[in-house]
Amino acid sequence: MNPLQKLQVFLNNPINKIGKVVDFEPSTATLLPFDFTANNSELTTEILANTNFFSLWVDEKLAKNNAKYGIGGYNEHRTIYSRSAHFDTVEEPRRLHLGIDIWGPAETPIYNFYDAKVHSFHFNNNFGDYGATVILQYQLDDLTLYALYGHLSLASLTGLQEGQFIPRGKHFASFGIAAENGYWPPHLHFQLMFDMEGKKGDYPGVCQFSNREVYLQNCPDPKLILQHTFTSALP
């Protein structure tokens, strides 16, 4: 079996209890799908260039739709990355998103969905980058899986050590404010990887479209995990 098949087999076994990533009660709360492609004409250059304006846009969307979180982004070709030179390269800009974003208030608690150990962590402090970042390593039978949690609060990194055990269900991190999360509206970037490719504290969350197939093969859809948090509410 390839890594994706192994992951699916593990997750489909009811013995393996997958926990939540954020607090959510499907019977009372709503998720709002966000579209950050060129189809979203509301997000003007002026809004994207100013983190406060962008944050206000997110907050207003959530409030108008009575939504607890905004969500989306996996395999999405996003225009919003034009706001930061961090995603530009000489050959081809990086625009394809490899994780799922959960947009909500700063300090929103983040929980570990399964027993893991800390692989690495880092404060990626560039405009448009992850800001405070934690990568956890999971051993799922004979499959090693990594999960990147980006745009965290700086406090989320306090006291962490590589190799530290993080049990299932532990509140181990929180959404960061703009000054701590790479200057974005508060949200969690949640991404899965089969191979860290030797990287620590960081892994591309956005790739060039020409490299789409290579990266998607290594970065499966986080919905496989998040469906256990959001159940039928997940788009």
For the chain, the domain total comes to 1
d(CA 188, CA 82): 20
> Which residue carries 């509206």 as its tokens?
185
Q: Would 21 be classed as within a structural domain?
A: no
> What is the model's pLDDT at position 127?
84
What does the pLDDT look like over 59-69, one tens digit per residue? 999 999 999 99
Residue 83's domain is classified under what CATH number?
2.70.70.10
19 domain residue, yes or no: no
Residue 102 in any domain: the answer is yes
pLDDT above 70 (res 90): no
Residue 18 domain flag: no
pLDDT at 92: 54
**134-166: per-residue pLDDT in tens?**
999 999 999 999 999 999 999 999 999 999 999
Distance CA 232, CA 235 (A): 8
Burial class (CB in 10 A: 0-12, 13-18, 19+), 119: buried
Copy the structure tokens of residue 87: 């995603």
The two three-digit tokens of residue 24, written as one number: 């959510």
DSSP 8-class letter at 87: G
User: Which structural domain, as residue segments, surrounds residue 132?
Assistant: 3-10+34-233
- Reduced to 3 states, what is the DSSP secondary structure of residue 174? strand
What does the pLDDT look like over 114-134, one tens digit per residue?
A: 999 999 999 999 888 999 999
Is residue 193 one of the residues assigned to a domain?
yes
Domain assignment of residue 29, yes or no: no
